[in-house]
Chain A
Amino acid sequence: MRQSFFRRFLQTQFSTKALVLIPIAVGINLIGGTLSSTLKLPLFLDMIGTVLIACLAGPWVAALCGLATNLFLSIVTNPVFLPFAIVSVLCGLVTGYMVKAGLFKNGFGVVITWLACTLTNAISAALITIFVYGGATGINSSSLFTAALIATTKEIMLSVFSTSILENLIDKGIVFLIAYWLVKKIPRRFSSQYAPLDKDYLLLKSRKGS
């Protein structure tokens, strides 16, 4: 029963057209790493592709894209990234549903999406850092910052969480800025293939003279 539900879910949500976007979006996510090293930022910027895919193909494809990104990172770089897949999946879902609600059309909506995504990421990442890794993962320089905070505040939970919020505000801010800039540049001929069917039944807008 569960198997067939899962299969039906896969069939409806993940058409071939949506599926082929995912490896490419994973690539775009990882270009973010190159980008941040070029811009000399101690960040990940690893969600640009997920945001783009959320705009095109919806929350569940974005969630799967997040999962695939972390799976890729854990296979190629370091298995430490695997538990953080939950974070990426949640961020994909949140961004996808915000976009679906029509929030990615103007600056205000983008800010709301940014804050929602930041909060989701910060909370879930902090929880994983604490409960899976005991406070630090050593995969980025913010671990040092966390350690310093712990030394001054003596509070593991608080320190990890505040590092996470600060890091994510900046990281996701840049991600959403770039993604918003890119979304507007996606050719319409391409994006309309992912959009819902227009309501000018059968042919032909031009025949009706509209």
Chain B
Amino acid sequence: METIDNSIAVLVRNINPITKLLIVFCLGIGCLIYPLPFVGYGILCLLVILGILIGQGKQVLKLIAGFGIPVTLMLLFIQGLYSPKNITMIADFGFAQMGLEGTMYALKISSTLLIFLAAFYLMLQTTKNSETVAALTQSGLNTKIGYLILASLNVVPQMQRKVKVIQEAQESRGVEISGSFIQRAKAFLPLIGPVVLSSLTDAQERGMTLEIRGFGINGDKPTSYIKVETTSLDIVLRIIAICFLISSLIPRLL
């Protein structure tokens, strides 16, 4: 998490993680329910603006371009040209015709994906994982699940660093470049094997540590060092998010 200290970034960072999760969820699902994809692209623009305001504009745009453009094109190709739902044809490419229904469907899927992607990214950039888990645990999330989320987020990068060191050592010796698939596998696997096995056997002592620290001793009511507050801003934001979700249902019901 980078620290950007303009007032909006601070404001966003202080929002309760549960509020942020709720907003991500309501935006994504809401856009999926709205019949037209343009609501989604509108929301996406708002998210990009929010990203720029908190100093993450470049990263958000990069994410959208890097993932969003290829997946949108791919979906337009598959659904726009070959969806069985296509009835109204809007363009003819010679080898296939582009249908309105499939195109709309493709745009909606891609806009929903992009909203989840961008909103979730912004949430992660403005929230500490431990805060999110503390907030969830305080609202009744099982402590074991909380442990799994946090421990995975901490253990995995540590293991990836270990592997990376090995990989770089191998590359510097030219193992990666030269040789066939079998040769590369033969060079790499004997080095990865011990890392995997030693990481696995570390589990025994890590379990001992958890037991000693009293993991789960107090049922599901542990206290936390991290303070998570629910302010009036949180309540307002939650109401807005839920209203958005409900409003997305209205055109469907009418």
A: which residues have CB within 8 A of B?
A: 7, 10, 14, 16-17, 19-28, 30-31, 34-35, 38-41, 48, 52, 64, 68, 71-72, 74-76, 78-80, 133-138, 143-144, 146-147, 150-151, 154, 156, 178, 181-182, 185-187, 190, 193
Interface centre among B79, B129, B200 (most CB of A within 10 A): B200
From A19, A25, A35, A190, contact of B204 by CB (8 A): A190
Q: For residue A185, which residue of chain B has the nearest CB?
A: B197
Asked if A182 contacts B210 (CB within 8 A), the reply is no
Known: A138-B74, A154-B82, A181-B193. A38 touches B159 (CB 8 A): no
Asked, given contacts A182-B197, A187-B201, whether A26 binds B156 with beta carbons under 8 Å apart, the answer is yes
In the complex, chain A residues whose CB is within 8 Å of the CB of B149: 68, 71
Q: Choose the segment among B2-10, B54-62, B180-188, B227-235 that binds chain A (4+ C-beta atoms closer than 8 Å).
A: B180-188
A-B contact pairs, 24 of them (CB 8 A): A16-B207, A20-B206, A22-B148, A24-B159, A24-B203, A26-B152, A26-B156, A27-B152, A28-B196, A31-B160, A31-B163, A31-B195, A31-B196, A34-B160, A40-B181, A48-B196, A76-B153, A78-B67, A78-B117, A135-B75, A137-B71, A146-B78, A147-B77, A193-B204
Q: Is the CB of B152 within 8 A of A72?
A: yes
A53 to B203, CA, bound (A): 11
- For the complex, give the distance between the alpha carbons of A36 and B197 in Å: 19
Chain B interface category by residue count: 35 or more
Question: Which chain B residues in 65-120 approach chain A with CB under 8 Å?
Answer: 67, 70-71, 74-75, 77-79, 81-84, 95-96, 105-106, 109, 113, 116-117, 120
Known contacts A19-B207, A156-B83, A182-B197: A136-B153 contact under CB 8 Å: no
Given A40-B181, A154-B82, A181-B193, the answer on whether A22 and B152 have CB atoms closer than 8 Å is yes
Chain B residues whose C-beta falls within 8 Å of the C-beta of A40 in the assembled complex: 181, 184
Known: A38-B167, A134-B109. A75 touches B196 (CB 8 A): no
* In the complex, residue of chain A having the shortest beta-carbon distance to the beta carbon of B201: A190
Task: Out of B79, B96, B113, B202, name the residue touching A80 (CB < 8 Å).
Answer: B113
Query: B1 at the A/B interface (Cβ < 8 Å)?
Result: no
Q: How far in angstroms is the closest Cβ of chain B from A69?
A: 8
CB-based contact B75/A134 at 8 Å: yes
Q: A39-B185, A78-B67 are in contact. Are A16 and B156 (CB under 8 A)?
A: no
Selected from B83, B156, B163, B204, the residue in CB contact (under 8 A) with A72 is: B156
Q: Complex Cα distance A74/B153, Å? A: 11
Q: How far is the CB of A18 from chain B (nearest CB, A)?
A: 9
The answer to whether B78 and A156 have CB atoms under 8 Å apart is yes
- List A contacts of B84 (CB < 8 A): 156
CB within 8 Å: A-B pair count:
169
- By DSSP majority rule, is chain A's interface helix, strand, loop, or mixed? helix
Tell me which of B184, B211, B215 contacts A39 (CB under 8 A). B184
* Pairwise interchain contact A28-B199, C-beta atoms closer than 8 A: yes
List A contacts of B71 (CB < 8 A).
Answer: 136-138
Encoded as 1 (CB less than 8 Å from any A CB) or 0, chain B from 165 to 180 comes to 0010010000010000
Residue in B84, B154, B155 with the greatest tally of chain A CB atoms within 10 Å? B155
CB <8 Å contact, A147 and B204: no
Of B71, B84, B158, B160, most A-chain CB atoms within 10 Å: B71
B247 on the A face (CB < 8 A): no
* Interface contact A26-B155, CB-CB below 8 Å: yes
B82 touches A156 (CB 8 A): yes
Contact B75 A133 (CB under 8 A): yes
Question: B254: which A residues are within 8 A, CB to CB?
Answer: none
A residues within 8 A CB of B188? 35, 38-39
A34 proximity list for chain B (CB < 8 A): 160, 163-164, 167
Closest to A190 in B: B201
